[in-house]
Amino acid sequence: MTKTKKAAIIGGGVIGGGWAARFLLNGWNVSVFDPDPEAERKIAEVMANARAALPALSDGPMPPEGHLNFAQSITEAVEGADYIQESVSERLELKHRVFAQVQQAAPDVLIGSSTSGFKPSQLQENAANPAMIFVAHPFNPVYLLPLAEVVPSAKSDPAGIERAKDILREIGMFPLHVRKEIDAHIADRFLEAVWREALWLVKDGVATTEEIDEAIRMGFGLRWGQMGLFETYRVAGGEAGMKHFMAQFGPCLTWPWTKLMDVPEFTDELVDLIAGQSDAQSGQYTIRELERIRDSNLIGFLRALKDRDWGAGRVLKDHDKRRAQTLTGADAAPASGPLAMARMQVLPSWIDYNGHMTESRYLFAASETSDAFLRMIGADLDYVKSGFSYYTAESHICHLGEAKLGDQLTGTLQILAIDEKRAHIFITILRGTESVATIEQMLLHVDMAAGKACAAPANILARLTNLAQTHASLPRPERAGRMIGQRKT
């Protein structure tokens, strides 16, 4: 049996709590140390948001959630840890004290720092084992956004950095290896430039905080989310591409458009002006409400990118694929019960005027479940592109309960029978342990070019057979084989 890995999180604020959620929901045990007496409450709230959000990005079953422990000391937190993430306040002397205590107990364990400003060589000063300390800078919310800037120094252990990148990929993140130390790394330097310009625009009365946010979210922010900066400008150059764009807009760099090298004086008046405008813009929401709105929007954006195998969506697809390989590898034992294939949340667009989930969404939930199953056995999008697929030939849905807005649902799947062309499956949609619907389906393997059923290839049949043999020992579902209007017995 594989040992559950442990992550130690030092500092349980917004970022530390996000790291804890990311590790926990990917099956790691987590030990958190934070002297703040409110740390447990704060992390519980972050976990609630993460549980509602991260599973909605996965097209396969999430692993069992790890165990969360709140340690009474740094030494207790790092004992037995496979990885350590430091997320304390941005004070270099504090970080040095933390690293010293960590390395007294765990000198050879990787320590990633969430710092947004310090370089790894600064973090490593006077450390017992500087080779194990590096920057792993994430973005909020850590449990949803995949980017982690990985910044080593000349003293870092190259093999350790590669191991750290593998760990980050294991929990669904995108480790961006920053090749040279630089203050604020890469992404925050862009944010700092935009922030400076925004401060001047507010101070000079050109725009309010709301107008600046609208300019971003109605325009270039949407482009940046899926094409970044240089690819966006490449498209702007038309058929001639980037060279044409540079020739056309390069002279603008000498125009007095920017105050990038100048910073407005941070006076009380400027702080009050910005805070007041921000309150008028968003004060009707609590911070937790804004977080949930943000998470829901991010899920929509990320799922759209995932459907197109683009940008951050590709990271999500690759993470699903790696997780599926652990389920379908030659050495992986088949599931001993119905497969938990999909986890979903009932969203506002899923409900009708009664506040209940609509019938089409029950079928959607079944589709998410069966699609995840097909990906698991190898009948994924690449397989469809090769000209073959499983079609749903028959469905029978039975409504047993009422799912409502915000409910967390799990789709499980049991194989009833298979042959070379067909898979007879039984899907149950669960709210907790309660069945809210069952959907019995017959899937037919099809040669799409020929437009007719055909035998599935040996590799897919082998996976199906392996699972079907295990499921043959399960009790047959009570409602399997029911007809329309059939009375309960």
What pLDDT score was predicted for residue 408? 83
Are 135 and 223 part of one and the same domain?
no
Are 165 and 108 part of one and the same domain?
yes
Name the pTM for this structure: 0.75
What pLDDT score was predicted for residue 336? 64
Q: Which domain holds residue 213?
A: 187-284
3-state secondary structure the chain: CCCCCEEEEECCCHHHHHHHHHHHHCCCEEEEECCCCCHHHHHHHHHHHHHHHHHHHCCCCCCCCCCEEECCCHHHHHCCCCEEEECCCCCHHHHHHHHHHHHHHCCCCCEEECCCCCCHHHHCCCCCCHHHEEEEEECCCCCCCCEEEEECCCCCCHHHHHHHHHHHHHCCCEEEECCCCCCCCCHHHHHHHHHHHHHHHHHCCCCCHHHHHHHHHHHHHHHHHHHCCHHHHHHHCHHHCHHHHHHHHHHHHHCCCCCCCCCCCCCHHHHHHHHHHHHHHHCCCCHHHHHHHHHHHHHHHHHHHHHCCCCHHHHHHHHHHHHHHHHHCCCCCCCCCCEEEEEEECCHHHECCCCEECHHHHHHHHHHHHHHHHHHHCCCHHHHHCCEEEEEEEEEEEECCCCECCCEEEEEEEEEEECCCEEEEEEEEEECCEEEEEEEEEEEEEECCCCEECCCCHHHHHHHHHHHHHHCCCCCCCCCCCCCCCCCC
Are 106 and 22 part of one and the same domain?
yes
Are 16 and 95 part of one and the same domain?
yes
State the CATH number of the domain containing residue 243.
1.10.1040.10
What pLDDT score was predicted for residue 31? 98
What pLDDT score was predicted for residue 110? 98
What pLDDT score was predicted for residue 331? 38
Are 52 and 200 part of one and the same domain?
no
Are 120 and 160 part of one and the same domain?
yes
Are 129 and 167 part of one and the same domain?
yes
397 within domain boundaries: yes
What pLDDT score was predicted for residue 222? 86
Are 99 and 10 part of one and the same domain?
yes
Structural domains of the chain, count: 3
Are 242 and 365 part of one and the same domain?
no
Are 169 and 192 part of one and the same domain?
no
What pLDDT score was predicted for residue 102? 97
State the CATH number of the domain containing residue 428.
3.10.129.10
Which ranges of the chain have pLDDT less than 50? Answer: 1, 328-334
321 within domain boundaries: no
Choosing from 218, 250, 284, the residue where a domain stops is 284
275 within domain boundaries: yes
Choosing from 147, 177, 207, the residue where a domain stops is 177
